Amino acid sequence: MAQPGSAYSLETKVQKPETHTMSVLVDNEPGVLARVIGLFSGRGYNIESLTVSETEHEAHLSRITIVTTGTPMVIEQIKNQLDRLVPIHSVTDLTVLGHPIERELAMVKVAGKGEKRVEALRLAEAFRAQVIDASTEHFVFEITGRQSKIEQFIVLMQPLGLVEVCRTGLAAIARGPEQM
């Protein structure tokens, strides 16, 4: 048995999974996204949200925003492995930089008549959701904001006749004047 304070006593620390938002600047060329996704799937890492768009047309650069969950050790492995992929210019863990600005867009289809229809419109106004399509039997709302706001809106629409939801995934940017 090891003595207290001994270098040989093994202490096991249980690390809690954390959710991190990473921004990855890559060359905009065929196969890059597949290589990034392959890194995650090949190692059993989960992607909770993925958004990709060209950000600098002249430089042919795209920005991939990835939301993933893992222990601090797994998150560090993901960053290091992403950094080693050839078409990647930079990997920034926006969560580590501190409270990134995060937004998501959702389109929410709700069908209903009478009081449920009126209540759906009232709630949409309270959430600043825009009606982008309407008929006598349904609405399609467009809502942007933090993921928690969108989740709350969806929960409130369920008893009113929620039909379908389409979400873009998270777009995020670091606060402050620095560029990625």
3-state SS of 123-138 is: HHHHCCCEEEEECCCE
The pTM assigned to this predicted structure is 0.79
Q: What is the mean pLDDT of residues 51-55?
A: 92
Domain ranges of the chain: 18-97, 101-172
- CA distances to 64, 69, 103 from 44, rounded to whole Å, are 19, 11, 27
- Mean residue pLDDT of the chain comes to 90
Q: Which CATH architecture has domain 18-97?
A: 2-Layer Sandwich (3.30)
What homologous superfamily is domain 101-172 in, according to CATH?
ACT-like. Chain A, domain 2 (3.30.70.1150)
Q: What is the mean pLDDT of residues 86-105?
A: 91
pLDDT at 11 over 90: no
pLDDT at 1 over 60: no
pLDDT in tens, 97-129: 888 999 999 999 999 899 999 999 999 999 999
What's the rounded Cα separation, in Å, for the pair 153 and 165? 11
- In this structure, of 23-32, 51-60, 111-120, 139-148, the range with the lowest mean pLDDT score is 51-60
Q: Are 129 and 12 in contact (CB under 8 A)?
A: no
Confidence (pLDDT) at 98 = 83
What's the rounded Cα separation, in Å, for the pair 131 and 30? 36
Q: Which residues pair with 110 in a beta bridge?
A: 139, 162
Q: Which residues pair with 91 in a beta bridge?
A: 24
Confidence (pLDDT) at 13 = 67
With 0-12 / 13-18 / 19 or more C-beta atoms within 10 angstroms meaning exposed / middle / buried, residue 47 is middle
